[in-house]
């Protein structure tokens, strides 16, 4: 993914071992670091500088689904259960793993709206041990 763009024709996402279906049309999958900095630095009284590597593998994963996607009901159950589950982001062309976390939680559940039309639903997950590419 050199350009950082998600492509639903080339990639798939599985949450709690179920493939996610019914992605919205625009900006429907995003992975961001929880801590943007990879290092921190401190300066001492005498001007000496220390650098520390930040080992923070947490990520915020945002998935936007169509309002009528059957995956919304599965995500709703995961949110209510409050238990950790895996997320896997794969390349369909070669089956290779792009990103993975064994310990994810629903951080922000989608807002349910009633009306004549289904509206897209945005789900935000917290991955505690994410390893892979970012969008």
**pLDDT tens profile 47-78:** 899 898 888 899 999 999 998 899 999 999 99
Between residues 59 and 118, which one has the greater pLDDT? 59
Residue 123 within a domain: yes
The 10s digit of each residue's pLDDT in 80-104 is 999 999 999 988 888 788 899 999 9
Rounded to whole angstroms, the Cα distance separating 103 from 58 reads 10
Residue 5 within a domain: no
Residue 3 within a domain: no
Residue 6 within a domain: no
CATH number of the domain to which 127 belongs? 2.40.30
Residue 74 within a domain: yes
Question: Is 2 a residue whose pLDDT tops 70?
Answer: no
Which domain does 73 fall in, by range?
11-132
Question: Is 1 a residue whose pLDDT tops 50?
Answer: no
- Name 12's bridge partners: 90
pTM: 0.82
Question: Is 3 a residue whose pLDDT tops 50?
Answer: no
Which of 60, 37, 55 shows the shortest CA–CA distance to 134? 60
The 10s digit of each residue's pLDDT in 4-62 is 556 777 788 999 989 998 888 765 788 999 888 888 888 988 889 989 888 889 999 99
Residue 2 within a domain: no
Q: What is the domain count for the chain?
A: 1
Contact (Cβ atoms closer than 8 angstroms) between residue 86 and residue 125: no
Rounded to whole angstroms, the Cα distance separating 77 from 75 reads 5
Residue 4 within a domain: no
Residue 63 within a domain: yes
- Which run of H or E residues covers position 86? strand 85-91
36-45 long-range contacts, CB within 8 A, separation 24+: none
């Amino acid at each position: 993914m050199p350009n950082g763009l998600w492509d639903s024709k080339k990639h798939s996402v599985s949450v709690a071992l179920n493939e996610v279906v019914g992605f919205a049309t625009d900006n429907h999958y995003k992975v961001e670091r929880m801590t943007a900095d990879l290092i921190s630095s401190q300066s001492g009284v005498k001007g000496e500088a220390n650098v520390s590597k930040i080992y923070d593998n947490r990520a915020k994963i945002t998935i936007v689904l169509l309002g009528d996607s059957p995956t919304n009901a599965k995500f709703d159950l995961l949110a209510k259960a409050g238990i950790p589950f895996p997320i896997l982001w794969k390349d369909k062309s070669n089956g290779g793993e792009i990103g993975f976390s064994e310990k994810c939680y629903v951080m922000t559940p989608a807002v349910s709206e009633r009306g004549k039309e289904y509206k897209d639903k945005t789900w935000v997950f917290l991955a505690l041990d994410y390893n892979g590419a970012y969008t």
